[in-house]
Amino acid sequence: MLPDTGIPTLTPGYAAVPPGHLASIVTSLEMLRPPPPRPGRPFPPGLALEPLARTDPETYRTLFREVGADWLWFSRLTLADGALAAILADGDVEIFALRRDGRNVGMLELDFRRPGTCELVFLGLTGDAVGTGIGRTLMNAAIGRAWARPITRFWVHTCTLDHPGALAFYRRSGFVPFAVHVEVAPDPRLDGTLPRTCASHVPRLG
């Protein structure tokens, strides 16, 4: 077991993934002080970061699907309404939709519920916004908002199901890797949590 986590330690070699499941390598990263500023252009006209304060679970899930479906984001989709509503109503959780002319093109979620710490829970863009430079502007906004509070640690995790450039992007932003895990979970495309057509780059077994 890994110390202080209760997570079993893998032994060297191959391990079979159960049918109908996905395996990913999860990298956790942190920054312990604000990084040097990285240049980023302002959001262009028509694009705005709007708070999603005290919204209902289904409005949140719509945003979550639009941004995360192609990367197989599913964690919030399987939460019961009450559990998700409690997160959405918590004053120490900040959720934003990045909108262009009323349409969702990105999201940002910051969790300050642990004193002195901020978790970058979700940061992502829809497919048509990836590669436009907006991601840097969104990350700069996340860093600024996180360190505007009295924290000593800002952290995030990403996995191999995410955009292939995500890990390098986080490192360029000032995050430093501190842990690696392997996660095995049911494929959300097989039980209807996400459409079967999502994430065609990830084999669907089962």
pLDDT score, position 66: 94
pLDDT score, position 132: 81
Q: For the chain, how many structural domains are there in total?
A: 1
pLDDT above 60 (res 205): yes
Give CA separation, 21 vs 12, 27, 188, in Å: 21, 19, 9
118, two tokens: 């901020």
pLDDT score, position 2: 55
- Chain centre to alpha carbon of residue 204: 22
pLDDT above 90 (res 42): no
pLDDT above 80 (res 93): yes
pLDDT above 70 (res 1): no
Neighbours of 177 (CB within 10 A): 14
Q: How confident is the model at residue 37 (pLDDT cuts 50, 70, 90)?
A: confident
Which segment of 30-44, 76-90, 117-131, 163-177 scores lowest on mean pLDDT?
30-44
Helix, strand, or coil (residue 197): coil
What is the average per-residue pLDDT within 139-167?
A: 96
pLDDT score, position 10: 85
Note whether residue 206 is domain-resident: no
pLDDT above 60 (res 15): yes
Note whether residue 150 is domain-resident: yes
Note whether residue 205 is domain-resident: no
**Per-residue model confidence as pLDDT tens digits over 120-151:** 999 999 988 888 889 999 999 999 999 999 99
Percent of the chain with pLDDT over 70: 98
pLDDT score, position 3: 56
Note whether residue 203 is domain-resident: no
CA nearest 109: which of 87, 130, 131? 87
CA nearest 125: which of 178, 189, 71? 71
pLDDT above 60 (res 201): yes
Note whether residue 148 is domain-resident: yes
CB distance 112 to 121 below 8 Å: no
Q: Which residue has the higher pLDDT, 118 or 44?
A: 118
Note whether residue 8 is domain-resident: no
* Host domain of residue 71: 31-186
Note whether residue 74 is domain-resident: yes
Helix, strand, or coil (residue 105): strand
Residue 97: give its domain's CATH number. 3.40.630.30
Number of H helices, E strands in the chain: 4, 7
Sign of CA dihedral 187, 191, 192, 195: positive
Sign of CA dihedral 184, 186, 190, 194: negative
pLDDT score, position 105: 92
Q: Which residue has the higher pLDDT, 65 or 3?
A: 65
CB distance 34 to 147 below 8 Å: yes
Note whether residue 73 is domain-resident: yes
